[in-house]
Structure 1
Amino acid sequence: MWKDFFYFTKTERTGFYVLIVLIFVALLVYWTIPFISSSAQINSEQMSETAYKEFLASVHQRDRNWNFNDYYVHKKQAIILAPFDPNTADSITFVRLGIRPYIARNILHYRAKGGKFRTPESFAKVYGLSPDQFKLLKPYITIGDNFLKKADSLHRFAAKAERDTLKYYKYPEGTVISLDEADTTELKKIPGIGIGTAKRIIAYRQLLGGFYKVSQLQEISHLPAELNKWFFIKKEPIHRININKFNVERLTSHPYINFYQAKVIVEHRSRKGTLKSLRELSLYEEFTSKDLERLAPYICF
């Protein structure tokens, strides 16, 4: 009789076997999941470590291939000094003059609001423009007649009338004047020198810190050597720059120091301390003997 309780039909036996199989599969999955998860975590960590090492290797390779000069060729844009009117110049002109882009935007915003620059000195009030930068740009600022004050316009008209009716006085042959003291009025008395050339001579003299020989005039474009006979050097004190104190931007403002030479000076100071003589700079390929010779009168330590 007890067999009646343990008797199963074919369908029931099939269902029973399926249930046992499912239980077995469930237990197998339950036992193997921790191992799979652990293995996946290990593989993930190994992949992360491999990716990190590959990233470091690429960084080191980039550093080895990095060219210092190429970087600064793109970063540093040459300053081109030329006459400009702050009332009409565009942003590209301002940037070429060495004015930073945000300062150029300030100028354009000021003009868009109706602002005008009536005198060169009014340009010095531009927000962000340093006094040294204004001093460098001032000789190149030209204010158009439409933007001048009425009094200045009348003066300009009177000067133009005088220019049209009177012949300017020129020095006779054999006259010599001091190149390190002459102003634009005196320079214009030299045959072959007009107001534009006179301003360029004064501007270059200010950039240098003074002339120490007459032949430096030929460093200004389109000035022939025939003009040298009209000048002499009075040996006025030359304004020197301390190369142990100034930064790259201030050093490159001097015509005899380019950007790469300024970087060498600053990096030498940071690694080896202050410079004591030009002989230390002669060890660098950026400085030739000619560079050091013409630079010597303009630096101090």
Structure 2
Amino acid sequence: MPNLFKDFFYFSRGERRGILTLIAVIGIVLLSGYLISAWQHRGDASPADIAEQIAARQEYEQFMASLEEKKEPRKKQYASHGRKEENAPIALAPFDPNRTDSIAFRHLGLPAWMVKNILHYRSKGGKFRKVEDFKKIYGMTEEQYSVLSPYIYIAPEDTAHNTPQLYIPQPIQAENMKYASGTVIDLNLADTTELKKIPGIGSGIARLIVGYRQQLGGFYQIEQLKDIHLDTRQLQAWFSIEPTGIHRINLNRSSVDRLRTHPYINFYQAKAIVEYRKKKGTLTSLKPFALYEEFTEADLERISHYVCFE
């Protein structure tokens, strides 16, 4: 009998090694399962802990939302400062700094803060008595003044209108000689000194005429002086016009910005010309624009004196 049990439980060295290896593997598997289960349950929290975490999270979100609400009015308050100041289209034209409104100043290319300074100066009783006074405005640069000075005129103190008027000629003095009746000068060639020798024309009106002539590129008829509110009936006898010296704009090369600087061409007309040129090619006349709503017959007639198609 002992021999039978001994034979039954007898294992060779290789079998014993196999049995020990199997037991070790089983032990490792069981231990791994326990460790994994313990690790998974390590992060579990009690219902009280979960409720506390949820309450803390809600409190944090409410706090952040209150901060956003406080920031929003500030953003709205300063939104206008964050926007880039819109630039008004520049259209140089004669102006009286004692009477011009804010919109007209903006169209002359002056920034809003400088316009505010000018209006504040006038509201306090300030007056521009000569052209050079405009240069004293705070922030006015030499470049801005040099561009605007030809268009500045100061109306006489006893004139209630916003437009320059021909003043009554004063007795002729030696230092301020006037031309004799019958004298005729070329309106496209006369400078301010020569213009002031015409009875009824002073420094302000002389600068006004020269400035508008530069803006146009030259006059083709005396009646154009009505554009700057001058009475041509009093001036017609003193002027002749040689239109061959008029500076013309090439419609096949000029940009929208260049075209709109001319007093007789507005932004929409300039854009229509450039768009037509892009779609149809080289322009040879103004006839295609006769059907455009941007142009009237009068517009095309006066523009024709200032354009070329080279």
Give TM-score scaled by structure 2 length.
0.50
Distance 1:125 1:196, change over 3 A: closer
Greater C-alpha Rg: 2
Measure, in 2, the Cα distance between the counterparts of 1:83 and 1:274. 41
Report the counterpart of residue 141 of structure 2 in structure 1: 123
Q: What is the CA-CA distance between 1:255 and the residue it aligns to?
A: 1.2
2:106 alignment partner AA: V
Report the counterpart of residue 157 of structure 2 in structure 1: none
Report the counterpart of residue 253 of structure 2 in structure 1: 245
1:98 is aligned, of 79, 86, 109, to 109
Q: What is the CA-CA distance between 1:135 and the residue it aligns to?
A: 6.6
Report the counterpart of residue 158 of structure 1 in structure 2: none
Q: What is the CA-CA distance between 1:222 and the residue it aligns to?
A: 3.3
**8 Å contact from structure 1 (residues 171, 191) kept in 2:** yes
What 5-or-longer segments of structure 1 have no aligned partner? 1-73, 106-115, 127-133, 143-162
1:273 and 2:274 are equivalent in the alignment? no
Measure, in 1, the Cα distance between the counterparts of 2:97 and 2:284. 40
Give TM-score scaled by structure 1 length.
0.51
2:188 is aligned, of 180, 193, 200, to 180
**8 Å contact from structure 1 (residues 176, 229) kept in 2:** yes
Q: What is the CA-CA distance between 1:201 and the residue it aligns to?
A: 0.6
Distance 1:136 1:250, change over 3 A: farther
More helix by percentage: 1
**8 Å contact from structure 1 (residues 240, 297) kept in 2:** yes
Measure, in 1, the Cα distance between the counterparts of 2:261 and 2:218. 14
Distance 1:277 1:95, change over 3 A: same
**8 Å contact from structure 2 (residues 88, 109) kept in 1:** no
Measure, in 1, the Cα distance between the counterparts of 2:199 and 2:240. 16
Report the counterpart of residue 287 of structure 1 in structure 2: 295
**8 Å contact from structure 1 (residues 281, 287) kept in 2:** yes
Let me know the Cα RMSD of the aligned residues.
3.9
**8 Å contact from structure 1 (residues 243, 299) kept in 2:** yes
Distance 1:81 1:249, change over 3 A: farther
Higher relative contact order (CA 8 A, sep 6+): 2
2:141 alignment partner AA: F
1:1-301 to 2 correspondences below 5 Å? 81-84=94-97, 94-99=105-110, 123-125=141-143, 136-140=147-151, 168-301=176-309
Report the counterpart of residue 40 of structure 1 in structure 2: none
**8 Å contact from structure 1 (residues 170, 191) kept in 2:** yes
**8 Å contact from structure 2 (residues 220, 243) kept in 1:** yes
Measure, in 1, the Cα distance between the counterparts of 2:277 and 2:113. 30
Amino-acid identity (%): 49
2:190 alignment partner AA: A
Measure, in 2, the Cα distance between the counterparts of 1:290 and 1:90. 29
**8 Å contact from structure 2 (residues 260, 266) kept in 1:** yes
Deviations 1:107-161 (Å, cap 9, x if unpaired)? Answer: xxxxxxxxx968xxx93557xxxxxxx775241369xxxxxxxxxxxxxxxxxxx
Measure, in 2, the Cα distance between the counterparts of 1:138 and 1:243. 29
**8 Å contact from structure 2 (residues 94, 212) kept in 1:** no
Distance 1:217 1:93, change over 3 A: closer
Q: What is the CA-CA distance between 1:231 and the residue it aligns to?
A: 0.5
**8 Å contact from structure 2 (residues 178, 199) kept in 1:** yes
What 5-or-longer segments of structure 2 have no aligned partner? 1-86, 117-133, 154-170
**8 Å contact from structure 2 (residues 94, 208) kept in 1:** no
Distance 1:251 1:235, change over 3 A: closer
Aligned residues: 189
1:82 alignment partner AA: F
Measure, in 1, the Cα distance between the counterparts of 2:173 and 2:234. 29
